[in-house]
């Protein structure tokens, strides 16, 4: 191997790397120098003064004393005079910069016009670094809101010295272990923003803010909002049995009032019905049925949206009755399509026993009469309504279904044992018959034009 002489290596290094500069000659990180003029800047928080120093030397490195140096500040991209300084015997002069909240506005430079021994010179731009202030973010307002009503929350963003902070923040809600952003309100020059919400559930909220040039990132404390029902909940005796099967609450109401919507049977709903509430041999087909979506008040006092499948010829009566029940705030426990409960070989239709045990209000169900195999139920025609069956049982074979506690008891809102009860009166007003009275208190039939009830059996035909 050929050895390159040490001197040659040194010469190559000098050519490639340039001269070696002693560490002591390197300016501080916040300093910029050009042709003998050096500007040095300290740090400070917004609203505070940062020290600015200049050092002027001639080409030989000696200080230049008693001359004027101009220091400028850049604001909005435009250079403006900050101070005209006179150097001392050491070639130094100093001033202060009142720090602003925008980082790009805290940039300075210095310039010297020159003289016989020192040429004119201007420093490179020197960034005066902002030290971020701590900030505080608050979210205030009512802790309770009535469901479907609007509430106002106030966001306040302040720096630790009380200065308002203007900017975009994130309003967030706790969801499934994480935080979901609901909106991005913007605080104004007073550091304030008002947020209007209609929360439909209990909620845990907070506001978070990003770091700005002059303030640190922060977030508010959590605020809990209690959503309360618009209608008084049903109060039952402690001794009253609860439905044997629990159904999840249906979706919250849509629109004002009952907001009934009638359509044909959608494909998805029909697929759920076939083999459960409808099967070959039923006296009415898909074309003769309608899907009714309607708002109702549940036992907890919230407005929900339910579904019934009904006969096309009776849909107007159902709409009228359910609209008045809603408007009179008559509670209904739930209103799911009965096919939700699956097929019952015993009833040869959807499982009405399970529906009753869940206190579910339903209509069309092509099945046999409960307790009378082979006898077709009036529900097979889509003109019968079962309303709150748990509190209004059905007598069959000397027993009561779905429970034996309620038949001897009534309730002013949800259980009726007399034709004078408001629920029976409302249904009658819209063309329904309380066909079997207290023997099948939850069952109502929509009368035909001639006033007859469509039924194909004798006795109680639930």
Position 439 scores a pLDDT of 96
d(CA 37, CA 32): 9
Percent of the chain with pLDDT over 70: 90
d(CA 316, CA 297): 20
Mean pLDDT taken over the chain: 91
Other CB atoms within a 10 A radius of the CB of residue 371 amount to 16
Backbone angles phi, psi at 312, to 5 degrees: -55, -40
Position 457 scores a pLDDT of 61
- 212-221, 291-300, 331-340, 450-459: range with lowest mean pLDDT: 450-459
Statement: residue 118 has pLDDT above 90: no
Statement: residue 11 has pLDDT above 80: no
- 23-32, 70-79, 129-138, 150-159: range with lowest mean pLDDT: 23-32
In contact, 185 and 178? CB cutoff 8 Å: no
For residue 72, give both structure tokens.
């400028």
Reference 388, options 351, 419, 356; nearest CA is 356
Statement: residue 21 has pLDDT above 80: no
- Cβ-Cβ contacts under 8 Å for 78 (sequence gap 6 or more): none
The pLDDT tens digits of the residues spanning 350-388 come to 999 999 999 999 999 999 998 888 899 999 999 999 999
Tell me the pLDDT band of 19, cut-offs 50, 70 and 90.
very low
Statement: residue 341 has pLDDT above 60: yes
Statement: residue 33 has pLDDT above 60: no
The predicted model scores a pTM of: 0.76
For residue 2, give both structure tokens.
């050929």
Position 175 scores a pLDDT of 93
Statement: residue 22 has pLDDT above 50: no
d(CA 462, CA 459): 9
Statement: residue 335 has pLDDT above 60: yes
Handedness of CA 336, 338, 344, 347 (dihedral sign): positive
The pLDDT tens digits of the residues spanning 250-263 come to 999 999 999 999 99
Position 213 scores a pLDDT of 96
């Amino acid at each position: 191997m050929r050895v390159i002489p040490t001197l040659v290596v040194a010469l190559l290094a000098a050519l490639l790397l340039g001269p070696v500069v002693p560490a002591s000659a390197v300016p501080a990180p916040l300093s910029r120098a050009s042709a003998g003029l050096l500007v040095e800047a300290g740090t400070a928080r917004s609203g505070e003064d940062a020290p600015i120093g200049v050092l002027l030397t001639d080409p030989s490195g000696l200080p230049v004393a008693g001359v004027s140096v101009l220091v400028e500040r850049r604001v909005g991209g435009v250079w403006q005079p900050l101070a005209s300084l006179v150097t001392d015997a050491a070639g130094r002069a100093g001033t202060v910069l009142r720090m602003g909240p925008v980082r790009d506005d805290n940039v300075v430079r210095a310039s010297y016009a020159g003289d016989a021994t020192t040429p004119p010179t201007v420093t490179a731009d020197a960034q005066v670094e902002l030290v971020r202030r701590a900030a505080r973010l608050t979210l205030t307002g009512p802790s309770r809101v009535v469901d479907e009503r609007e509430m106002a929350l106030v966001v306040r963003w302040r720096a630790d010295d009380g200065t308002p902070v203007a900017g975009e923040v994130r309003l967030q809600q706790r969801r499934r272990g994480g935080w979901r952003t609901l909106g991005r309100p913007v605080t104004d020059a007073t550091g304030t923003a008002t947020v209007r919400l209609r929360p439909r559930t209990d909620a845990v909220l907070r506001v978070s803010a990003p770091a700005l040039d002059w303030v640190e990132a922060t977030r508010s404390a959590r605020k809990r909002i209690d959503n309360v029902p618009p209608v008084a909940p049903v109060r039952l005796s402690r001794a009253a049995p609860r439905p044997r099967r629990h159904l999840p609450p249906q979706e919250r109401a849509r629109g004002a009032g009952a907001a009934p919507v009638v359509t044909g049977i959608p494909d998805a709903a029909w697929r759920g019905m076939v083999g459960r509430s409808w099967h070959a041999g039923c006296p009415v087909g898909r074309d003769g049925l309608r899907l009714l979506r309607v708002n109702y008040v549940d036992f907890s006092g919230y407005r929900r949206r339910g579904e019934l499948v009904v006969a096309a010829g009776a849909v107007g009566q159902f709409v009228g009755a359910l609209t008045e029940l809603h408007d009179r705030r008559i509670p209904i426990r739930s209103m799911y399509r009965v096919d939700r409960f699956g097929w019952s070989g015993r009833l040869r239709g959807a499982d009405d026993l399970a529906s009753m045990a869940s206190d579910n209000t339903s209509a069309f169900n092509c099945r046999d009469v409960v307790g009378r195999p082979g006898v077709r139920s009036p529900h097979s025609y889509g003109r019968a309504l079962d309303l709150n069956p748990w509190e209004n049982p059905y007598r069959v074979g000397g027993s009561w279904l779905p429970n034996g506690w309620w038949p001897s008891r009534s309730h002013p809102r949800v259980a009726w044992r007399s034709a004078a009860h408001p629920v029976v009166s409302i249904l009658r007003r819209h063309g329904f018959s309380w066909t079997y009275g207290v023997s099948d208190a939850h069952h109502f039939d929509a009368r035909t034009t001639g006033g007859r009830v469509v039924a194909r059996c004798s006795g109680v035909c639930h």
